[in-house]
Chains A and B, each alone.
Chain A
């Protein structure tokens, strides 16, 4: 299954190769041109009969993770973060490290040895380390190098009422939707962009948009979902199962209101459930895309993900399917000239 393979592949920001190869293999028979640009973005072009508006759809390949900073005399590995991770999720987890795919675990001081006050404090990542099962530095150096990446080890599991648990749903859900969209025939030409390093500051999207110069940019994302006990209703950015989320504004973009309206109209007309992303927190590749060159108009369609940026992100397969469907119908509408805007 595509989403399983995508989420189980490793692609921490700046080291997206495994994901990039997987994606290229998936789309190569369905697009007219594939190009990997100088910073690692995949730029795919699928030629249709209609070329306007110039449509760019983007999903980021990278995921948050860890990077090895030091090998201790004991053979334990110190690390830093790549992207935003709540350090409290790290303890008692499995990771896989570097080119040699070395298994490791993140441990902590046993509860028996702790003072009661210690349990109440979050463990700082600087106190933590990765154990790969060696007795000293020399043995460790044969397996792992400083600067290598460590990603969470977490299988794709389907559970509950049509839900999925996996790592890196942010943004392999976007990659999966974009891959499937490129596999579908459309009359409108599409630039499908799989970007690098979104999680460390929207690095890839700017150069990609500079090259493409789109009229319309659609960003596909996995977004925060906080429909959890203890969170008041109005603070719940999205709710699982209520359909794809359409962004209004975040820290990087005020999304184009006509484009938002057109997507919502499409959803309403086709009875596709959707929700508005009720927070301005966070940002995504759109921030760079809409400001590239002379600018473009953008929108974001997201699949809500609980426990995002943790090894156990959770999404609804219904939300995923509806996001894919909504995008498809929106493109249909575009190619029919259903969205008018002075470009």
Chain B
């Protein structure tokens, strides 16, 4: 399957943090043909193993991309059947107004998020963002009709069709971090064509958006020699200072900072240059807010890398990405993985 198509299928699936069941079974199918063994751990992480050749010293490289997405949860159903909700993960309340949703009750219900009409609000109200507590989900049923179908605690996802923009650009919900999952998929495809000694674990992690939890348990279980997280970084837009952003379409952001193993990162850059793979740098001195953070401090410590895919409008339903950046990232990772062997591993990790 092509990266652009796969990203669309993944984007439109539901998988709010802690409720990744449907997306994880789809991902399991997707990785089946490209890997040798697929397992699911207790938290729900999908671990797809592609075995290396002549891997006598049992080198393990773990790639992690989270499959969960931010979403909403039902907190109340009022007398008229309007649904009140809270948020799961970092949602800007301003992006919710006039949005379509799917309420995952006993069956899936379509709804829209509305608020008091503007002509019933005074001028000062209109300049303020609508607060989450003043928003309602309208599923078009009365309280009685909803009885037994929708309950407090039901999960809600944004309903958003994947949209192809110009050329390699696409837009949709949850591209943070389904784009990371597609990068792993593309990397696995590349590795079919390259020789690699290390066992490669492609891990689609759960619950990143609520505190990098899936990466915590899966990294412990795998105990890799090298951990590489793939996530999204801030694509350049006018309102963010340029030094905090990545340019769209100019390749993966290679993160530099304390979360990242410096020698390994130098090797990654060297490979990017050797194979003419476009790349840029993302500066993040502290613990990154990604799976890389959980990986780094697992067990006695794991040498960790982070690849950031440039993505605009993070945590909205119209996140925008350039597929070329996914492909370049996959190629870069595959080249790195294929060059790591028993002979050079210690040298690469030595301070």
List residues of A whose CB falls within 8 A of some B CB: 72, 74, 76, 86, 88-89, 91-94, 102-114, 119-123, 127, 129, 131-135, 139, 143, 153, 155, 157, 159-163, 165, 224, 226-231, 235, 281-282, 306-308, 310-312, 314
Instruction: Give the interface centre of A94, A107, A159, A307 by most chain B CB atoms within 10 Å.
Output: A107
Contacts A89-B98, A307-B98 hold; do A161 and B163 have CB atoms under 8 A apart?
no
B276 at the interface (CB under 8 A from A): no
Task: Please give, as numbers and ranges, the residues of chain A lying within 8 Å of B136 by CB-CB distance.
Answer: 228-229
B128 touching A120, Cβ below 8 Å: yes
B166 touching A132, Cβ below 8 Å: yes
Closest B residue, CB atoms, query A135: B249
A161 touching B239, Cβ below 8 Å: no
Min Cβ gap B124→A in Å is 10
Q: What are the 4 tightest A-B residue pairs by CB atom distance, in nearest-first order?
A: A160-B140, A133-B169, A133-B165, A107-B313
Instruction: Give the interface centre of B117, B134, B167, B238 by most chain A CB atoms within 10 Å.
Output: B117
B94 touching A88, Cβ below 8 Å: yes
B350 at the interface (CB under 8 A from A): no
In the bound complex, what is the Cα–Cα distance between A310 and B119 (angstroms)? Answer: 13
Closest B residue, CB atoms, query A72: B238
B114 touching A103, Cβ below 8 Å: no
B166 touching A139, Cβ below 8 Å: yes
In the bound complex, what is the Cα–Cα distance between A230 and B135 (angstroms)? Answer: 10
Interface-lining segment among B104-112, B184-192, B196-204, B299-307: B104-112
Task: Please give, as numbers and ranges, the residues of chain B lying within 8 Å of A311 by CB-CB distance.
Answer: 98
Having A121-B127, A310-B97, one finds 11 other A-B pairs with CB under 8 Å, namely A88-B130, A92-B95, A92-B318, A93-B98, A108-B92, A110-B316, A112-B315, A132-B169, A133-B171, A231-B117, A307-B117
In the bound complex, what is the Cα–Cα distance between A133 and B167 (angstroms)? Answer: 7
B115 touching A122, Cβ below 8 Å: no
In the bound complex, what is the Cα–Cα distance between A217 and B166 (angstroms)? Answer: 46
In the bound complex, what is the Cα–Cα distance between A114 and B249 (angstroms)? Answer: 24
Identify whether the interface residues of A are mostly helix, strand, loop, or mixed.
loop
B56 at the interface (CB under 8 A from A): no
B312 touching A122, Cβ below 8 Å: no
B119 touching A107, Cβ below 8 Å: no
Contacts A92-B317, A226-B120 hold; do A307 and B112 have CB atoms under 8 A apart?
yes
In the bound complex, what is the Cα–Cα distance between A133 and B129 (angstroms)? Answer: 28
Contacts A88-B129, A229-B78 hold; do A224 and B140 have CB atoms under 8 A apart?
no
Q: Which residue of B129, B166, B237, B317 is within 8 Å of A134 (Cβ)?
A: B166
B31 at the interface (CB under 8 A from A): no
In the bound complex, what is the Cα–Cα distance between A102 and B163 (angstroms)? Answer: 11
Contacts A94-B171, A123-B94, A226-B117 hold; do A131 and B80 have CB atoms under 8 A apart?
no
Q: Which residue of A106, A122, A153, A308 is within 8 Å of B117 (Cβ)?
A: A308
9 A-B pairs with C-beta separation under 8 A: A76-B238, A102-B166, A110-B315, A111-B315, A133-B168, A135-B249, A160-B110, A160-B138, A310-B97
Q: Which residue of B111, B142, B145, B313 is within 8 Å of A92 (Cβ)?
A: B313
Q: Which residue of B78, B138, B141, B166 is within 8 Å of A133 (Cβ)?
A: B166
Task: Please give, as numbers and ranges, the residues of chain A lying within 8 Å of B145 by CB-CB distance.
Answer: 161
Residues facing A in B73-112 (CB within 8 A) are: 78, 80, 82, 90-95, 97-100, 109-112
Closest B residue, CB atoms, query A312: B112
Residues facing A in B209-267 (CB within 8 A) are: 234, 236-240, 244, 248-249
B238 touching A92, Cβ below 8 Å: no
Closest A residue, CB atoms, query B160: A94
In the bound complex, what is the Cα–Cα distance between A108 and B109 (angstroms)? Answer: 28
A107 touching B318, Cβ below 8 Å: yes
Min Cβ gap A318→B in Å is 12
In the bound complex, what is the Cα–Cα distance between A29 and B166 (angstroms)? Answer: 40
Closest B residue, CB atoms, query A159: B110
Contacts A112-B314, A229-B136 hold; do A105 and B98 have CB atoms under 8 A apart?
no
B92 touching A111, Cβ below 8 Å: yes
B320 at the interface (CB under 8 A from A): yes
Min Cβ gap A102→B in Å is 7
Q: Which residue of B99, B115, B318 is within 8 Å of A105 (Cβ)?
A: B318
A103 touching B164, Cβ below 8 Å: yes
Closest A residue, CB atoms, query B90: A111
A131 touching B244, Cβ below 8 Å: no
In the bound complex, what is the Cα–Cα distance between A140 and B114 (angstroms)? Answer: 33
Task: Please give, as numbers and ranges, the residues of chain B lying within 8 Å of A165 by CB-CB distance.
Answer: 100, 110, 112
Task: Please give, as numbers and ranges, the residues of chain B lying within 8 Å of A230 by CB-CB distance.
Answer: 116, 134
A226 touching B118, Cβ below 8 Å: no
A314 touching B138, Cβ below 8 Å: yes
B139 at the interface (CB under 8 A from A): yes
In the bound complex, what is the Cα–Cα distance between A129 and B27 (angstroms)? Answer: 34
In the bound complex, what is the Cα–Cα distance between A310 and B116 (angstroms)? Answer: 12
Contacts A92-B316, A231-B120 hold; do A120 and B129 have CB atoms under 8 A apart?
yes
Contacts A121-B127, A121-B128, A159-B139 hold; do A228 and B112 have CB atoms under 8 A apart?
no
In the bound complex, what is the Cα–Cα distance between A122 and B97 (angstroms)? Answer: 11
In the bound complex, what is the Cα–Cα distance between A104 and B111 (angstroms)? Answer: 23
Instruction: Give the interface centre of A76, A111, A281 by most chain B CB atoms within 10 Å.
Output: A111
Task: Please give, as numbers and ranges, the residues of chain A lying within 8 Å of B317 by CB-CB distance.
Answer: 92
A229 touching B95, Cβ below 8 Å: no
Closest B residue, CB atoms, query A144: B166
Min Cβ gap A101→B in Å is 12
